[in-house]
Amino acid sequence: MILKRMYEDYDLAIERILIKEYKRLKLTMQEMSVLLALFSIYKKRKTFSISAISRRVELSQNEIGTSVESLMNKGFMTILLEKKDGKEREVFELDPTFKKIEELYQQDDLEKLKLIHESSIGITIKLLEQGLGRLLMGHELENVRRWYDEKNYTHEGIIEAIELAKDRVSIKHVERFLTQVIPDPVEIDQDVENALDEIFKKIK
């Protein structure tokens, strides 16, 4: 998990992310306070202790216990038994929280891509209708959507094909130009540096 690695190796301000996103993560203020306390403890040790949390929040032990149970039920943390020096102790893990934040931001990115996708289709339909001097028919609209949904061509390549068709604009002619010169496939850059840039933008 990139977020966990950034938190442990580069001291990512996870607290700022939680304060900003707790509502979207469907956390109550009380749950967020306890989760922040757990992250504070996590930096020093992973032993679970209600009293250690109570020193960091203005909540009763019952309220802390209720919040911890809720955080576990919502999938933000886990508590495990660990043997050390022949003794058992409770330790907590916050990996699920890192995962939930990453999933939230991934969903944001998918929504942005969806908007860009729909906007590109709209631009292409408008250009084709201008060239044809009429509205596209149902099967023509399906063809245009297929160009994008199947991801065989880039948006730029489709626009270029429409421009090449000039006064002979039609779905058939545009497809002919598209199949004659197939652009290089679009690669999604998954470089860690780009991921870091995106995450830092979100927490500013």
Which pLDDT tens digit goes with each residue over 119-154? 988 998 998 888 888 898 888 898 888 888 888 888
Q: 117 falls in which pLDDT band (50, 70, 90)?
A: confident
Burial class of residue 57 in the structure, from the number of CB atoms within 10 Å of its CB (0-12 exposed, 13-18 middle, 19+ buried): middle
Residue 78 and residue 6 in one domain: yes
Which of 5-9, 66-70, 107-111 is least confident? 5-9
Global model pTM greater than 0.85: no
Instruction: Give the model's pLDDT for residue 204.
Output: 55
**Locus of tokens 């001097």:** 133
SS3 of residue 190 by DSSP: coil
Q: How many other CB atoms are found less than 10 A from the CB of residue 56? A: 16
Structure tokens given for 82 = 């660990």
**Helix and strand numbers, DSSP H then E, in the chain:** 10, 2
Nearest C-alpha neighbor of 147 from the set 162, 164, 165, 163: 162
What is the average pLDDT value for the chain, to the nearest integer? 85
124 and 163, same domain (yes or no): yes
Number of domains in the chain: 2
The pLDDT of residue 183: 47
CATH of the domain at 25: 1.10.10.10
H or E segment to which residue 21 belongs: helix 14-21
pLDDT at 188: 45
Does residue 120 share a domain with residue 82?
no
Q: Going by C-beta distance under 8 Å and a sequence separation of 6 or more, which residues neighbour residue 189?
A: none
* pLDDT tens string 69-93: 999 999 999 999 888 777 888 899 9
Asked whether 50 and 75 are in contact (CB, 8 A), the reply is no
> Would residue 199 count as lying in a domain?
no
Q: What is the pLDDT of residues 140-193, one digit of tens each?
A: 898 888 888 888 888 888 888 888 877 778 888 888 888 875 444 444 455 555
On the question of pLDDT at 31 being above 80, the answer is yes
Give the domain range for residue 77.
Answer: 2-93
For 74-101, letters b (16+ CB in 10 Å) and e give bebbeeeeeeeeeeeeeebebeebbebb
47 and 109, same domain (yes or no):
no
51 and 131 share one domain: no
pLDDT at residue 185 in the model: 46
Domain boundary, last residue among 93, 126, 154: 93
Domain-ending residue, one of 75, 93, 111: 93
